[in-house]
Structure 1
Amino acid sequence: MTADRVPAEARAHIEDLAAFVTASPSSYHAAAEIARRAEEAGYTRIDEVDAWDIVPGGRYVVVRDGSAVVFALPEAAAATTPFTIIGAHTDSPGFKLKPKPTTHGPGGWWQLGVEVYGGPLLNSWLDRELELAGRLVTLEGDEHLVRTGSLLRIPQLAIHLDRGVNNGLELDKQRHTQPVWGLGDAESADILHALAARAGVEASQIGGYDIVVADTQEPRTFGHAQELFASGRLDNLLSAHAALVAQLQTEPREAITMYAAFDHEEIGSASRSGAAGPFLEDVLLRISAALGAGADERAQAFAASLHVSSDVGHAVHPNYPDRHDPANHPVAGGGPILKINASQRYATDAHGAAAWNAACEAAGVPMQEFVSNNAVPCGSTIGPITATRLGIRTVDVGVPILSMHSARELTAVVDPWYLSRAMRAVLER
């Protein structure tokens, strides 16, 4: 691929994705950034504790913890108007701060107690400058977003002290993943004081916290023609960003357009703000009620609705081609992928596939199929969960990447742009 084969629009999209990732070191920051961008585009922020004044032609955004739903109603919206939903998730695998997090290790090192979150590639987190990010909640219930910038590092053991390391690295999740963040007197080490100072609150007023570890290296393009893009948290901020861009660029026509970004996908989605929880259904029911829908009208609307669940997938790895299906080889730069699994680990069926293929064709976007090698277990995402919970037809899609669940992942510059264009075609159906 030469530089002139990467469209200017794709480069602009990747620059905006880089800005989105940089602004979103945690799911709570991602939800706040989604709401900020939606409000900037003319959407009205609504709160779950208030009565909602939802009207045809209106545009709204609502946040629950680290999740957000953005939706727009056509002028002719009525009780049986269907929904077209693009779903993604805001969290990424990594580490989360434990209670009593500050420890003092041998050698005078200040350390932090962290718990593994999801299924990260542990070795990829070693020897990187990392930050803490998330939310502090005061005893009064006020929430404060906080991030530290470069503060900590998980140091790898030198090869001189482990001569066999290149024959197989084994990391104990408790003993070998605790980061260092300072030196000196143990009494001076208190990470909660450091976080409180950055948030502008008193440490004694912190009633609770949800703090994760994030890589601080900036996203960047590289490669022969700058056609490659590396960044932390592409799983799944890449999809979250593509869907948000599509939603904000779309004028609703026959359907209510909606973008749903969920937290906690990496740990199973079973939470009040995860895809297995009630958040999306709560929003759908409140919209239906505002449009005067009873049970029968709501069932009609759901039956005519479509949910596109987007999460990253595996590009063929050049060093491990045997790990992939021999006939279906998604390649970087070849467009978004349609995810298929016989055991419904992905929710795609024939009707969903047809809808997605039609959208890609309408958008002029190339597409590829993804199916797992039978000998390699298949992952899953929010698609089957929301399909089971709501009964809305769902199709699973994504973008092929390398190094999934690494602290730093890799994609082709054009693919996130292709994905967003196809998403927009779905919303405009």
Structure 2
Amino acid sequence: MDNAVFNSKLFDFLKQSPTPYHAVQRMARRLEAAGFERLDEQAAWSLAPGQRYYVTRNDSTIIAFQTGQSDPVTHGIRMIGAHTDSPCLRVKPNPEIYKKGFYQLGVEVYGGALLNPWFDRDLSMAGRVSYVDSHDRLRDALVDFARPVVTIPSLAIHLDREANNTRTVNPQTDIPPILMQADEKEAVPFRQLLADRIRAEDPEADVAKVLDYELSLYDTQPPATVGLNDDFIASARLDNLLSCFIGLQALVQADPTQPALLVCNDHEEVGSMSAEGAQGPFLSSVLDRWVGAADRPRVIARSMMISADNAHGVHPNYADRHDGNHGPLLNAGPVIKVNNNQRYATNSRTAALYRHISESLDLPCQSFVVRTDMGCGSTIGPLTAGNLGVRTLDIGVPQFAMHSIREMAGARDGYVLYQVLRRYLELEQID
């Protein structure tokens, strides 16, 4: 697989993953095609050496692993972590708003989204819908309206002359999107629209009543290669589906000899404190069922986690927002993220291991440290390191417009990180 094929497959994954639920569904299908067996959390597990498995929780977090031929107690486990969620707008439980003949939807901001770029976009909706069938059984369905069905028009500058100087966005009043023209008497309830959508996607679905849902708005503009020389990729949800895709490809393509694991958690953008988030017990419970609670401390002592989450590339219009010696460039390699206050979990040993692998493959890498007078973000790396006690490296592909509705990264950096992570998963020892 070369860089062009890698990006083509990435674009396909991004297009088919408008929500964490769809991303996990897509990853599960890829894993099954590669010979991974699905496990059920509620069932007893009988794991064998040299086999490959995966398990999901809440349909939005996935853990895939290969038991390998080597004993995890003596060889450890090579782990990769990422997250499936991205900042977006989520539809509220009672969303119907009727004003001036327009049917609008109440939405809530999920995560630290940049709100201005959501205006004047062709938006669709997707997510998970829970319903009862005609036999009064609870069911779930994934839905994706696919085409543009809502939009958030900007207010004309003639009605806000200071828009380019002082306009701010009130998330309660300024961003409810327009769904259609209809008054309250003639409008179809939103839950009925969802029931109709389920039936449209699956004519055999037995939907008696929609009870609840978790729906996100998303931009329908597809991923693209941009730049006169095709230097960049642009898409929604690069943070952090790009890392999920890289980790997935590395695990699927790696030699299955060594014990290895990929975890892609939901809810990173809102703090990771959930049953399926990185602060939750999911990964710990999977490891206990794989290697046993008694042996887990010894396994962890020989293991390592590489937490992959995109980094801030140095923007040419805002170069002063970076430390002068630590401004990552697009297409100059993945970025080792360092913070001495432990907002990132990287230490000298984990960074050195990555650099050693990267140099052995003659591939580039960079370092990022936030300006000393600015706050530093974080990711699942410190949370996983704190929960498991596993040595951890935080790394990511540099990008622009993080948390915007459409983000941009270098066209070559993702493939570089994939190559290094694949080699990492095949190491016999990581000491």
Equivalent position of 1:129 in the other structure: 122
Alignment-derived partner of residue 241 in structure 1: 245
- How far apart are residue 41 of structure 1 and its match? 0.8
Residue aligning to 1:219: 223
Once residues 55 and 311 of structure 2 are traced to their aligned partners in structure 1, the CA distance between those partners, rounded to angstroms, is 28
Q: Find the counterpart in structure 2 of residue 230 from structure 1.
A: 234
* Residues 126, 393 of structure 1: alpha-carbon distance in 2 compared, 3 angstrom cutoff: same
Offset from partner CA, 1:296-347 (integer Å, 9 cap, x none): x321111000000000011101001110011112100001000000101000
Q: Per-residue deviation at 1:203? A: 6.3
Partner of 1:426: 424
What secondary structure does 1:142 align onto? strand
1:81, 1:11 → 2: CA distance? 34
Show the 5 A alignment for 1:28-427: 28-65=21-58, 66-77=60-71, 79-105=73-99, 107-139=100-132, 140-149=137-146, 150-186=148-184, 187-200=186-199, 204-253=208-257, 255-289=258-292, 295=294, 297-427=295-425
Cα distance, 1:79 vs. partner? 4.8
2:202 corresponding residue in structure 1:
none
State the alpha-carbon separation in 2 of the partners of residues 354 and 153 from structure 1.
48
Letter in 1 for 2:116: N
* Matched-pair contact (CA < 8 Å) for 1:193–1:203: no
CA contact (8 A) 1:196 1:202 kept: no
Amino acid at match of 1:288: V
The one-letter code sitting in structure 2 at the alignment partner of 1:73 is T
In structure 2, C-alpha distance between the alignment counterparts of 1:355 and 1:247, rounded to whole Å? 18
Instruction: Return the offset for 1:49.
Output: 1.1
- Any idea what the Cα deviations from partners look like across 1:157-185, whole Å, max 9, x if unmatched? 11111011011221101000111110023
**Does the CA-based 8 Å contact 1:245-1:420 persist in structure 2?**
yes
Q: SS at the partner of 2:225?
A: strand
Deviations 1:267-293 (CA, angstroms, capped at 9, x unpaired): 00001011111111111111013xxxx
Deviates more, 1:336-345 or 1:49-58: 49-58
Report the Cα offset of residue 59 of structure 1.
Answer: 0.4
Q: In terms of mean alpha carbon deviation, does 261-270 or 297-306 score higher?
A: 297-306
Secondary structure of 2:81's match?
A: strand
> Aligned equivalents of 1:20 and 1:198: distance in 2?
22
Mapped to 2, the partners of 1:141 and 1:374 lie a distance apart of: 52
> 1:202 Cα deviation (Å)?
6.5
Q: Could you tell me which runs of 5 or more consecutive residues in structure 2 were left unpaired when the two chains were aligned.
A: 200-204
1:183-238: CA deviations, max 9, x gaps?
02323242222222121256652232111111111000011111111000000001
Aligned length: 415
Structure 1 unaligned segments of length 5 or more: list them: 1-7
One-letter code aligned to 2:171: K
1:17 is aligned to 10
Q: TM-score, normalised by structure 1?
A: 0.94
Change (3 A) 1:281 1:141: farther
CA offset at residue 119 of structure 1? 0.6
Secondary structure in structure 2 of the residue aligned to 1:327:
coil
> Which 4+ residue blocks in structure 1 deviate beyond 3 angstroms?
76-81, 201-204
**CA apart distance, 1:34:** 0.7
Identity of aligned residues (%): 42
Root-mean-square deviation (CA), in Å?
Answer: 1.4
Of stretches 223-232 and 194-203 in structure 1, the one that deviates more from structure 2 is: 194-203
For residues 102 and 188 of structure 2, what CA distance do their matches in structure 1 show?
10
Q: Which piece of structure 1 moves more, 182-191 or 368-377?
A: 182-191
Distance 1:202 1:157, change over 3 A: farther
Q: Does structure 2 retain, via aligned residues, the 8 Å contact 1:148–1:195?
A: no
Is 2:246–2:417's contact at 8 Å kept on the other side of the alignment? yes
Amino acid at match of 2:385: A
Contact conserved, 2:251 with 2:262, CA < 8 A, in 1?
yes
In 2, the alpha carbon distance for the partners of 1:412 and 1:342 equals 27
Structure 2: how far apart are the matches of 1:141 and 1:376? 48
TM-score, length-scaled by structure 2: 0.94
Segment drifting more, 43-52 vs 301-310: 43-52
Q: Distance in 1 between matches of 2:153 and 2:120?
A: 5
User: Aligned partners of 1:320, 1:406: CA distance in 2, in Å?
Assistant: 16
Whole-Å Cα distance in 1 between the matches of residues 105 and 393 of structure 2? 41
Residues 332, 22 of structure 1: alpha-carbon distance in 2 compared, 3 angstrom cutoff: same
Cα pair 2:361 2:420 within 8 Å, conserved: yes
* Counterpart-to-counterpart distance in 1, 2:33 and 2:216: 27
